[in-house]
Amino acid sequence: MRIDVVGRQFEITDAIRQYAEQKTGKLTKYYDGVQLITVTIKQVSKHHHTMEYDVELVLDVEKHDDFVSHATGADPYAAIDLVSEKGERQLREFKDRLKSH
């Protein structure tokens, strides 16, 4: 399984890359069919004074369409936390659906 961390209009530091890989690497315990995880972090200025970070998580799962999650936060670490929780919920619900059928 591969984890890609991409920055759009934002420099990805080693600490942010490591944090994103650590948080999203745990998602494989919810479903084994995850093949690729892509985390895209985009820096957006709001009202010329504040910065926000939009984070997109794309989970490439075998035999299913990709799961996509979005989160926004004032801190890239908080946005990564939010988006990984959303991805976790999507994978858990998908696995529950597979079990019930």
Percent share of the chain, pLDDT over 70 = 100
Residue 19 corresponds to which amino acid?
A: Y
- Say if residues 35 and 60 touch (Cβ distance below 8 Å): yes
- Alpha-carbon gap, residue 94 to 101, rounded angstroms: 11
Q: Where are the domains of the chain?
A: 2-100
> Residue 35 above 90 pLDDT?
yes
pLDDT digits (tens, 9 = 90+) for 46-84: 777 788 999 999 999 988 899 999 999 999 999 999 999
Task: Give the three-state DSSP class for 31.
Answer: coil
What pLDDT sits at residue 99? 87
pTM: 0.90
- Alpha-carbon gap, residue 68 to 37, rounded angstroms: 10
What pLDDT sits at residue 42? 94
Q: Give CATH for domain 2-100.
A: 3.30.160.100
